[in-house]
Amino acid sequence: MKKLFRNISLFWVLIISLLLATTLVWQATRWAYTDALNTLIKVGGERMTLYSGTLHEALSRYAYLPYVLSQNIDIKILLKSSFNADLVNDYLQSLNAEAGSDTLYVMSAVGDTLAASNWQDPQTYIGHNYGFRPYFTDAKSKLKGRFFAIGATTGKPGYFMSHSVCDNGQFLGATIAKVDLTPLQDDWHKGGETVLVSDANGVLFLSSREDWKYRTLTQLSENQRTMILAGRQYGAQALELLPLETVEVLAEGQKIVRFDKALYLFLSRPQEDLGWQLHHVAPLAPVQERSQAVMIIGIVLTLLLLALSLYGRERRQKQISRRKAHQAEAIQAMNLRLQAEIAERNRTESVLHETQKELVQAGKLAALGHMAAGIVHELNQPITAIRTQAASGHLLLDRGETGKVRETFSAITRMTEHMASITAQLKTFAHKIPPKRKERVVLQDCLDGALNMTASMFSDFGISLQTEVPAAPVVLSGDQVRIKQVLVNLIRNAVDAMKNSEKKVLQIKVTALPQDVEIVIIDSGIGIDEHNMGELFTPFFTTKDVGEGLGLGLSISYRIITDLDGSIKGKSLDDGGACFTIKLPRIQK
C-alpha cells in the first residue's frame, strides 16, 4: 500500500510539474511574441513618420507652381484673348524643366487646354478638354485643387495641383501642375519595405508593391465607382479588392492580416491635409520566429529537467532493487509453501465443482419431474373429456342425432385447441423465437386487447379494475401481439393470486417518460415470498399446485420484454400483493 501511495504521489508530482513547466513555457512564448510585436509596431510607426515626411516634402516642393502661374500676365492675356500661346508654351516648358515637375498647363474657363509645357510632344495636352477633372472644378470654385489620377491623354499617373486665374473677380481659367510620384514609389521599393497610400475611397494608388497597386482595401459601392468613373481617375483599372483577411485588430490603425497564407502587421495613419491614408505593412514572420525560438528553448529545458529527474529516480530505483534482491530469497521460500497450499486448494475446488455439477443435474431432474407432472395433469383432463365425448358421439350416431354429433365434435375441437395452447407454451420456451421487424405499436391498443381477453375473469372472481392511462397515444417500437401476450400473462397471474383474497383490486398504471414508457401492474393478492424472488423468471418455476400451471408465463414474458430492449421487475408490497414494473422504449413523435 505504501508503495502504491508513493507511486501515485510521484505520478501526480510529475503531472503537476509538467503542467507548471508547460504554463511557464507558454507564458514565456506569449511574452516573447508580445514584446517582438510591440517592437515591430514601434519601428513601423517610426518608419511611417519618415514616409509621411517624404510624401509631404515631395508634394510641397511643387505646391507653389499653380499659384505662380496664375499670377503671370502673359497667361492672363492668353485666357482673355487667346494671344501669346507660343510665348506661354515656351515659358511653361522652361519653368517645368527648371522646377522638375512632370507637366505644366493652362486651361480655359470651359476646361480646354490652351498651353502646355509638353506642347512639342505627340501626346500634348493642348486641345484636350479636362473640365471633368475634380481639380478643375475645385479651381473654378476658387479652391485649391488636389487630385491624384491616371492621365487621360498620356496614361501616366500623377498628382495634379490647380489654382484659379481670375481678373476682377471673373474666373478666366486654371493653371495646373502635374507631379510624377513614381520616383517616390521607387525609393520605397528600394528600401525593401511595403508602403501604401490609399485615397478616401480606399484605392491604393501609391504602392511599393506593384501587384497591390490600384487595388482596394474595401469593397467599392456603386456610388463610389460612379464617382471614380465620372472623374476618369483611374482609367481602365479594374480596382479589384485586395484579399487581405483581418486576423486580429490590435488598436486603432493597427491590425494583423493574412495575405497569401502569410501574416502581416498592417499599420495605418491618416494624412488629414490630403484626405489619404498612409499604410505600412511588415511581415509577422520575425515575430513568430522569435516566439517559436523561445518556445523551443523552453521545451528543451523542460525535457532536460525531466530527463535529469528521471535519471535521479532511476538511480534510487536501482538502490531499492538491490535491497529487495536480498529479500527475494526469503520470499522464494515462502512462495514454495504457498504453491503447495494452492495445489491443495485446487484439488478441493475440483471436488467442489463435481459436487456442484451433481446438484445442478439433480435440480434439472427435479424441474423436469415438476414439469412432467404439470403437463400430465393439464393434458389428462382434456384427454378424458375427449374420450367421453367420442363415446357419446358413437351413441348419438347410432341414434341418428346428427345435430348433437356436431356439437360433440365442436367440443372435442375446443379441447384439442386447449391442449395445443399448453404445448405452445413449451414450444415458445424451448425454441428461439425468430426476430421480427419492429413496428409502431400504440400501447393503449395492446392494453385494451389484453383486458378484452381477460374480461370474463374479472366478473367471475369479483375483481375490481383500476386503470390510469394517458389520453394521448403512447407509441412503442415492437410487436403488438407479443406485448399483448405479456400483458395477458401478468393479468392472469394477478387474478390467480387474488382468487382467495378478501380485497380483490387490480391496478394498471401507464406513465409516459421522456425516453421510455412505464407499465405498473399491482394486485392485492398473497404477494411473493422473499425466498422465491430470485426464481420469478426461471422456466417451470411456479407456486401453484400441480396441474394449475407450467411456470412458463413469467419466463416467456421476460424473454419477450428483453427482446424488445425493455426490462421487467417484480416485487412484493409491504401491505400485501405484488407489483410488476415493465419499461419499454417509446418512439418520440
Q: What is the pLDDT of residues 32-73, one digit of tens each?
A: 888 888 998 999 899 999 988 988 888 888 999 999 999 999
**Cα–Cα distance list, 30 to 257, 266, 267, 292, 300 (Å):** 19, 20, 21, 10, 17
In terms of Cβ atoms closer than 10 Å to its own Cβ (0-12, 13-18, 19+), residue 118 is buried
Class of domain 183-286: alpha beta
More confident: 291 or 238: 238
- For residue 116 the three cell numbers come to 502646355
Spell out the residues 6+ positions from residue 276 whose beta carbon is closer than 8 angstroms to its own: 197, 198, 199, 200, 270
* SS3 per residue for 543-566: CCCCCCCCCCHHHHHHHHHHHCCC
Q: Do the domains spanning 65-180 and 183-286 agree at the CATH topology level?
A: yes
The 8-class DSSP code of residue 216 comes to B
User: What is the model's pLDDT at position 358?
Assistant: 63
Q: Where are the domains of the chain?
A: 65-180, 183-286, 439-585
Class of domain 439-585: alpha beta
Strand 276-283 and strand 194-198: the pairing is antiparallel
How far, in Å, CA of 218 to CA of 167, rounded? 44
- For residue 131 the three cell numbers come to 473640365
How far, in Å, CA of 488 to CA of 440, rounded? 20
From the candidate CATH numbers 3.30.450.20, 3.10.450.50, 3.40.718.10, 3.20.20.140, the one assigned to the domain spanning 65-180: 3.30.450.20
pTM for this model (two decimals): 0.50
Position 563 pLDDT exceeds 70: yes
* The one-letter amino acid at 155: G
Q: What is the pLDDT of residues 97-152, one digit of tens each?
A: 999 999 999 999 999 999 999 999 999 999 999 999 999 999 998 888 898 888 88
- For residue 313 the three cell numbers come to 529516480
- Binned at pLDDT 50, 70 and 90, residue 15 comes out as confident
Cβ–Cβ under 8 Å, residues 215 and 204: yes
Question: Which residue is associated with the grid cell 492580416?
Answer: 257
How far, in Å, CA of 282 to CA of 352, rounded? 85
Position 457 pLDDT exceeds 60: yes
How far, in Å, CA of 62 to CA of 160, rounded? 10
More confident: 576 or 476: 476
